[in-house]
């Protein structure tokens, strides 16, 4: 009986440890650095566990680069007014991202500015791992 209880506790601890690694939050990103990118929406997926934006960016010098940008879960974004049709393929936008540590052309979405001047917020300053200010 005692061995069974110990085994049960160990299994529970392993399950909890595994789920704590499954969701990374913003620790993979350099949240103290923000990069502004202007480009064209290649694709926008509004799905679980996180929404994704693929953006075609052409730097001042060089060839077009495709950026893969992780966003927030759809249930959070929906409460902010986002939907599957918020961003359209071919739409020109300027986004603010924090880069993925050690991996170029990847980041986490902070905000989107449309060509009409409208700003769509994902992570307001001071929340969700985004600092109040960046140097």
Per-residue three-class SS string for 99-114: EECCCCCEEEEEEEEE
Tell me which fold the domain 26-121 belongs to. OB fold (Dihydrolipoamide Acetyltransferase, E2P) (2.40.50)
Closest CA to 98 of 74, 131, 62: 131
Domain ranges for the chain, please list them.
Answer: 26-121
pLDDT digits (tens, 9 = 90+) for 62-73: 899 999 999 999
- pTM beyond 0.85: no
Alpha helices for the chain (secondary structure H): 2-22, 74-79
pLDDT digits (tens, 9 = 90+) for 75-123: 999 999 999 999 999 999 999 999 999 999 999 999 999 999 999 999 9
- The β-bridge partners of 87 are none
Q: From residue 130, give the alpha-carbon distance in Å to each of 14, 23, 97, 114.
A: 30, 17, 10, 21
């Amino acid at each position: 009986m005692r061995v069974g209880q110990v085994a049960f506790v160990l299994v529970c601890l392993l399950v909890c440890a595994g789920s704590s690694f499954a969701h990374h939050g913003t620790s993979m990103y350099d949240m103290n650095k923000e990069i502004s990118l202007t480009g064209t929406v290649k694709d926008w997926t509004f799905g679980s566990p996180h929404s994704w934006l693929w953006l075609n960016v052409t730097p001042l010098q060089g060839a077009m680069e495709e950026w893969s940008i992780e966003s927030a879960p759809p249930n959070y974004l929906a409460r902010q007014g986002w939907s599957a049709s918020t961003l359209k393929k071919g739409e020109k936008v300027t986004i603010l991202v924090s880069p993925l540590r050690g991996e170029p052309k990847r980041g986490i979405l902070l905000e989107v500015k449309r060509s009409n001047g409208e700003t769509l917020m994902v992570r307001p300053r001071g929340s969700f791992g985004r600092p109040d200010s960046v140097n």
